[in-house]
Structure 1
């Protein structure tokens, strides 16, 4: 069960309208790493969690908080659009003062949402459920969560420097602080799960199950010009799980065969090798 409170998690109060900034903020609302994505990602991970109850509870806590962040951003966008109108947009072409306010406005804020937030990114591309990760494997999912929070916080930090509006910046500072905590949270969960199950996902498929492929688990294949990558910790030393030593291969050779597919039916209208047809 969910219930809504009228009060926002944190105060949202802008100093002046700014439709261009409203458009830019759409990215952290409905973009790939926006609040809608982490909201849905954490909730679906929580809904489907079959592991320790503390992980499910945490996912539901943070997923529900993210619903509040979506509402905060919608309120922020609405305030930044206050005073915008189709007439003002037309006048912007003639009046530099109006143009400073109206320049770059997202037409859909006027035509579709009536001066409100949209479930889209900053270019108007609709939010996509394919953005979310909810695999059922806790360690894999927590790593995806850390990635999402890292990218989301990065985008909010960039937006922070795009405005001098102290009201907007105050809202962003709250979001940056919460995103920082959420990174801490996922790092703590990841460390706990790694200590419990090991660092490789899935732990239920152990290294020894790879049988004859074991050597390939420790080889770095240099497949681009230059060999600077040999200086990294991924090319020398012991693997994080302690099961083997890395090997740097400067000129790795192919280990497979040349593909030689069967001749397909002519009704498929391939450009076929006549020699293969004759030899068939």
Structure 2
């Protein structure tokens, strides 16, 4: 059961309207790595969780917090849009200087949402459920969560430097701090699962099950110009799970055959000379 509380997690109070910034902030609301994405990702992972109860609780805690972050950003965008109107749009179009300053106003904020936030990114692309990952494998999902928090915090940090509005920056500092904690959180959870299950996903498919393919699990194939990649820990020394030693393969040779598919039926309308052998 979810219960809405009227107070926001943190205070949202901008210094002045800024429709262009409102458009930019839509990215961290409804973009691929925005708050809507992490909200849905954590909630679906939590609802589907069949692991230890503490992991389910952790996912539901942060997923529910992210609902609050979505509401904070909606409030922030609405405040930045206060005072904007269709008349402003017309004035901007007539004044070259104003057009240069505020010409990036999102018309959907005026036409579609009535000066409110929308579940879209900064280009007006609707939020997509394909942005989220909820595989049922906790280690795989928690690694995806760490990436989501890393990308999301990066985008908020970039927006922070795109405005001088101290009210907006105050909100962003709170979000940056929470996103930093969430990175700590997922790193700790990942470490615990790696200690329990090993480093490789899924743990249920052991290295020895790879049979004759197992040696390829330790090879770095040099397939681009330059060999500097051999200097990393991924090309020498023991694998993290201790099952083998990394090797660097310079100029590796292909080990497969040349494909030689049969000529397809002419009824499929391929532009192929059926009398010519492939």
Q: Same fold (TM over 0.5)?
A: yes
1:202 aligns with 2:202: yes
Q: Aligned residue for 1:238?
A: 238
Tell me if the contact between 1:18 and 1:101 (Cα under 8 Å) persists in the aligned partners. no
User: Counterpart of 1:220?
Assistant: 220
* Cα distance between partner residues in 2 of 1:5 and 1:82: 24
After superposition, the C-alpha distances for 1:156-176 in whole angstroms (9 at most, x for unaligned) are 000000000000000000000
For 1:26, what is the secondary structure of its paired residue?
helix
Tell me by how many angstroms 1:105 deviates: 0.4
Q: Please provide the CA RMSD for this pair.
A: 1.4
Deviation at 1:264, TM superposition (A): 1.1
Following the alignment from structure 2 to structure 1, what is the Cα–Cα distance between the partners of residues 216 and 252?
12
With 256-265 and 7-16 compared, the bigger mean Cα shift is at: 256-265
Structure 1 regions of 5+ residues with no counterpart?
none
Q: How many matched pairs?
A: 278
Match of 2:145 in 1: 145
Q: What CA distance in whole angstroms lies between the structure 2 residues aligned with 1:101 and 1:258?
A: 58
Spell out structure 1 runs of 4+ moving beyond 4 A: 95-101
> How far has the Cα of 1:99 moved from its partner?
4.4
Decide whether the 8 Å contact of 1:41 with 1:132 is kept in 2: yes
Structure 2 residue 257 is the aligned partner of structure 1 residue 257:
yes
* Residues 5 and 101 of structure 1, relative CA distance in 2, 3 Å threshold: farther
Aligned counterpart, 1:14:
14
2:14–2:80 Cα contact (<8 Å) kept: yes
* 1:186 lines up with 2:186 in the alignment: yes
Normalised TM-score (structure 2) = 0.97
Distance in 2, Cα, partners of 1:212 & 1:20: 58
Q: 1:72 to 1:33 in 2, by over 3 A?
A: same
Distance 1:238 1:75 in 2: 51
Q: Is the 8 A contact 1:84 1:102 kept in 2?
A: no
Query: What's the TM-score, normalizing by structure 1?
Result: 0.96
Question: Following the alignment from structure 2 to structure 1, what is the Cα–Cα distance between the partners of residues 138 and 7?
Answer: 32
Which consecutive unaligned segments of at least 5 residues does structure 2 have? none
Change (3 A) 1:238 1:224: same
